[in-house]
Amino acid sequence: MEKTYDPKPIEDAWYQKWLSSGLFHADADSAKPSFSIVIPPPNVTGSLHMGHAFNNTFQDIMCRFKRMQGYNVLWLPGTDHAGIATQNVVERQLAKEGTSRHEMGREAFVERVWKWKQQYGETISSQQKKLGNSCDWDRERFTLDDGLSRAVRTVFVRLYKKGLIYKGKYIINWCSRCHTALSDIEVEHENENGRFYHVRYPFVGEEGSVVIATTRPETIYGDVAIAVHPRDEKNRHLVGKQVRVPLGGRVIPIIEDNMVDPEFGTGCVKITPAHDPNDFLVGQRHGLPQIQVIDGEGIMNANAPELENMPVAEARKKAAQLLGQSGSLVREEEIEHSVGHCYRCRTVVEPYLSEQWFVRTKPLAEAGIDAVRRGEIRFVPEQWEKTYYQWMENIRDWCISRQLWWGHRIPAWTCGECGHITVSEMDPTCCEKCGGTNIHQDEDVLDTWFSSALWPFSTLGWPDTTKELSAFYPTSLMVTGFDIIFFWVARMIMMGLEFMGREPFRDVYIHALIRDEVGQKMSKSKGNVIDPLDMIDRYGADALRLTLASLTVQGRDILLSPAKIETYRLFMNKLWNASRFALANLDDTERSWKEHIASLRMHDCWILKRTSEVAIETEKLLGGYFIGESARSLYDFVWGEVCDWYLELAKPALRGEEGGARRQASMAVVEYVFRHVLLSLHPFIPFVTEELWRNFGFTTSLIEENVWSIDPVDTPEQNDVKESMTVFQEIVRVLRNLRAEARIAPQQKVHRVFLQTSQQEIASLVTANRDLVELLVKAEEVSLSSAKPTGCLASSFAGGQAFLYVGDLLDIPNEISRLRTELESVEKDIATSTSKLNNEKFVSRAPREVVDQERTRLSESEAKRRRIRENIESLE
């Protein structure tokens, strides 16, 4: 074994071995209980970013843990066709080649995207393999593959027949760059500086005018009414009057509608049904016309003659100018207002009137709410239920049609003869109503999230009845970020309940976001991206995984930096070297510590007990998805207890200095410790643990099923040693501290150490372990002493006193002042304890053990004070 751990050759080799072993493959016929996760499918255009790495690490930890426990684990991988994103990527490519999708035509374009997919679609899965994902790659799926497309069609047709999908002309969010409709949640609102234009609309046939305020004067051409609130005292008298639109000059009525906020501005608002969602509703209620003035390109049309052919931004300025010239512009003010942007390309989204397909979500959402209420689905952490309910209770219909070419084309055919729409799973040859053959399929494709919503069952073979569905649905766990609760989680729940009659997953773990070290979202434009592959290359996948796991805290974002990953890289090296040391002291014989009970010393019993406790704790924590707590406790245990204390204490015995029986016993303990440590750590850091496991010669492989077996340590001998060990550690610390005070170089041995105690247990502890105190404090001789020795530095521990002999080197004034400092701190403790115990309420109301503990503490402190005072006196 190398002295320094090098992850690269080990990680690559083990991943290949795992793949060829076939142990990542889940057997649908297995009799074992199943544990299943479907991966959140990354965009096929994507490459692995830190968010994926975190999300996948979490799932892999759970999958490996469950597999070790003997579950039939399915972790189903796959990718999403990502309509807009993928189409954008290929379109950019075409632009570079000097062509466009419109020039190519639909069929050629779609073919081109498929070609692109074949070429680059493997990128992300190969990166997931680098991370160590134990996915069932035989079952990898793609949202546009044949099976999933069939599921999409089936769902569409059934929802349509049930009246839950409809087509209609409504105001939707339109991205004029992507050239498609977007659903409400695909719009990101941001506060931006804008201008508020106060515009005068003169009455027709009488003097006077009303003033309304708008941020969008270019839409004035589309105004069809002015509205006031029906209970608005100051404006109610206006209702029924008519005004002239200051641009275009049409005459429009003043109406009343509850939508108007009478407190806002003048209490009068313009109604532009074709370009504002609220105005659209008002227009419907009042039977008003819809006048469209902006087209799908974001360009003004002929309904705004003076602005025709201008893009919106330019038209806005021009409109303001025209209003100014005609004296209609009362004033302008700077305001901050919320502006919607396309979540894919950041273009400002226009409310746009067009014919689209929608899912009627209310009934689906109600079932989804109930499923969570009834506890069939559990959010972890629980708080996210609130977010979910809030959205589901106020859900709006889902616009599912997209004016793209890459995606599932809507299975609806309009008849050229009778206008009837035929919706069908199989491509129809004629209109189902009139039999006419002049039918034409809808040009639009479905929202990518429509197919993602089916992912937990479409990937398992639905709509067929498959073994996979009965074995793995409902899945056990969904792991995802809070940013897609609405996009994905809620919709999977609705679709799963509707089509499978069961929830798609039992638990949904919502994790935080990964940010950079100053808390900013990572983004290419900010240049603060930490590339997981780069990190794997530099520090190894294990180090990255353990970092992500350790930094996980429920409900808090993770601030990541390479320096943090480096810290965990050091842990790999520590584990590697501790193992290297252990291996150098073991042989091929298997041993059980139980056969060597008579030869076990305190520290052996202590580490056996601790190892057992930590392994059991790991099991419990992982069962509750507490991967952060679990990772941190293992890290601390391995470094702080196994390495810092146990291995140091075991060295003499392993070298044979304590005799043959002790050597055998220590070997057995070391074996036990490493077996359990490697087992517990494997879900987090599979590569290095697997390599070490093999080096130790423990069974075959850590990914074998049922390998998780904890051999609990629960005998009385082992249970009683924790306190003794604590005393022992304190004695060692106190003496090391004295060495440092005396400026004794670390490698230099001190001659004599005296320990004084009035407690029998401590005396026998010291007697039994004096060699180990000598070892750890580098002393030639440690002895119990009842008399106060001279020429010594002194310090107290709980239950006694430690003396370090320095002879003539004793700097008396310095020692006195050091003891005085120690005395001060003890006095403080005494004061605290005394005041507590003098408080009658404390004594009567606090639990007995707390009061007892306080009494013990006080008497211990008083004993300490007495000793320190004696020491000071003896020096003065």
Partner RNA sequence: GGGCGACUAGCUCAGUGGAAGAGCGCUUCCUUCACACGGAAGAGGUCACAGGUUCGAACCCCGUGUCGCCCA
Q: How far is the CB of 606 from RNA (least distance, A)?
A: 16
Q: How far is the CB of 814 from RNA (least distance, A)?
A: 15
Residue choice 281, 616, 784, 846 for contact with RNA (CB under 7 A): 846
**Which is closer to RNA, CB of 245 or CB of 549?**
549
167 forms part of the interface with RNA (CB under 7 A): no
Q: Indicate the angle between helix axes 123-131 and 7-21, nearest 10 degrees.
A: 110
**Which is closer to RNA, CB of 286 or CB of 865?**
865
**Which is closer to RNA, CB of 393 or CB of 427?**
393
| Residues near RNA (CB under 7 A), total | 71
- Look up residue 143 and give its two tokens: 């949202």
Segment near RNA (CB under 7 A), from 154-162, 370-378, 461-469, 838-846? Answer: 838-846
Residue choice 321, 390, 438, 790 for contact with RNA (CB under 7 A): 390
394 forms part of the interface with RNA (CB under 7 A): yes
Query: 3-state SS of 72-139?
Result: EEEEECEEECCHHHHHHHHHHHHHHCCCCHHHHCHHHHHHHHHHHHHHHCCHHHHHHHHHCCCCCHHH
d(CA 553, CA 14): 30
389 forms part of the interface with RNA (CB under 7 A): no
Query: 3-state SS of 348-390?
Result: ECEEEEEEEEEECCHHHHHHHHHHHHCCCCEEECCCHHHHHHH
Q: Where are the alpha helices (DSSP H) in 162-215?
A: none
Residue count (the chain): 876
Helix/strand/coil for 158: helix
**Which is closer to RNA, CB of 360 or CB of 651?**
651
Residues 623-652 that bind RNA (CB under 7 A): 629, 632, 636, 639, 643-644, 647-648, 651
- Look up residue 843 and give its two tokens: 């004594």
Q: How far is the CB of 391 from RNA (least distance, A)?
A: 6
Residue choice 290, 387, 414, 441 for contact with RNA (CB under 7 A): 387
Residues 744-763 that bind RNA (CB under 7 A): 745-747
Segment near RNA (CB under 7 A), from 14-22, 309-317, 658-666, 743-751? Answer: 743-751
Parallel, antiparallel, or unpaired for β 251-256 and 225-228?
parallel
313 forms part of the interface with RNA (CB under 7 A): no
**Which is closer to RNA, CB of 246 or CB of 340?**
340
Q: How far is the CB of 383 from RNA (least distance, A)?
A: 5
Q: How far is the CB of 706 from RNA (least distance, A)?
A: 30
662 forms part of the interface with RNA (CB under 7 A): no
DSSP codes of every residue in 299-324: BB-TTSGGGTT-BHHHHHHHHHHHHH
344 forms part of the interface with RNA (CB under 7 A): no
- Look up residue 526 and give its two tokens: 């900010």
739 forms part of the interface with RNA (CB under 7 A): yes
Segment near RNA (CB under 7 A), from 23-31, 353-361, 402-410, 845-853? Answer: 845-853
d(CA 613, CA 677): 11
Residue choice 13, 251, 302, 570 for contact with RNA (CB under 7 A): 570
Helix/strand/coil for 10: helix
Segment near RNA (CB under 7 A), from 95-103, 427-435, 555-563, 810-818? Answer: 555-563
Q: How far is the CB of 552 from RNA (least distance, A)?
A: 8
**Which is closer to RNA, CB of 763 or CB of 858?**
858
**Which is closer to RNA, CB of 310 or CB of 802?**
802
Residue choice 236, 574, 788, 855 for contact with RNA (CB under 7 A): 574
DSSP codes of every residue in 523-547: -TTTT----HHHHHHHH-HHHHHHH
**Which is closer to RNA, CB of 340 or CB of 411?**
340
Taking residues 508 to 547 in sequence order and writing x for each that binds RNA by CB under 7 A, - otherwise, the string is ---------xxx----------------------------
Residue choice 32, 236, 736, 855 for contact with RNA (CB under 7 A): 736
**Which is closer to RNA, CB of 118 or CB of 747?**
747
Q: How far is the CB of 4 from RNA (least distance, A)?
A: 4
Nearest 5°: phi and psi at 847? -60, 145
Residue choice 303, 354, 573, 664 for contact with RNA (CB under 7 A): 573
| Residue 156 neighbours by CB distance under 10 Å | 23
845 forms part of the interface with RNA (CB under 7 A): yes
Go through 111-128 and write b for each residue having 16 or more CB atoms within 10 A of its CB, e for each that does not. Answer: ebbeebbeeebebbbebb
442 forms part of the interface with RNA (CB under 7 A): no
**Which is closer to RNA, CB of 89 or CB of 725?**
725
Residue choice 252, 477, 578, 806 for contact with RNA (CB under 7 A): 578
Residues 480-509 that bind RNA (CB under 7 A): 483, 486
DSSP codes of every residue in 533-597: HHHHHHH-HHHHHHHHHHT--TTS-EE--HHHHHHHHHHHHHHHHHHHHHHHH--S----GGGGG
193 forms part of the interface with RNA (CB under 7 A): no
Q: Closest Cα to residue 320, out of 193, 194, 173?
A: 194
Residues 6+ apart with CB under 8 A from 340: 173, 187, 188, 189, 348, 349
d(CA 504, CA 474): 5
d(CA 235, CA 228): 7
Helix/strand/coil for 638: helix
Give first-to-last CA distance, the chain, whole Å.
58
**Which is closer to RNA, CB of 464 or CB of 644?**
644
Query: Residue holding tokens 């970013």?
Result: 49
Helix/strand/coil for 338: strand
DSSP codes of every residue in 54-73: HHHHHHHHHHHHHHHHT-EE
79 torsion bin: left (phi>0), alpha (psi -120 to 50), beta (else):
beta
Residues 57-116 that bind RNA (CB under 7 A): none
Contact 173, 187 (CB under 8 A): yes
Q: How far is the CB of 189 from RNA (least distance, A)?
A: 6
**Which is closer to RNA, CB of 96 or CB of 524?**
524
335 forms part of the interface with RNA (CB under 7 A): no
Taking residues 798 to 837 in sequence order and writing x for each that binds RNA by CB under 7 A, - otherwise, the string is -------------------------------x--xx--x-
Segment near RNA (CB under 7 A), from 291-299, 301-309, 385-393, 447-455? Answer: 385-393
50 forms part of the interface with RNA (CB under 7 A): no
Query: 3-state SS of 660-722?
Result: HHHHHHHHHHHHHHHHHHHHHHCCCCHHHHHHHHHHHCCCCCCCCCCCCCCCCCCCHHHHCHH
Helix/strand/coil for 268: strand
Q: How far is the CB of 649 from RNA (least distance, A)?
A: 10
553 forms part of the interface with RNA (CB under 7 A): yes
**Which is closer to RNA, CB of 484 or CB of 500?**
484
Contact 690, 702 (CB under 8 A): yes
Q: How far is the CB of 623 from RNA (least distance, A)?
A: 16
Segment near RNA (CB under 7 A), from 134-142, 413-421, 578-586, 865-873? Answer: 578-586
Residues 354-383 that bind RNA (CB under 7 A): 383
Q: How far is the CB of 60 from RNA (least distance, A)?
A: 22
d(CA 580, CA 574): 10
Chain centre to alpha carbon of residue 826? 46
Residue choice 116, 120, 391, 696 for contact with RNA (CB under 7 A): 391
Taking residues 126 to 165 in sequence order and writing x for each that binds RNA by CB under 7 A, - otherwise, the string is ----------------------------------------
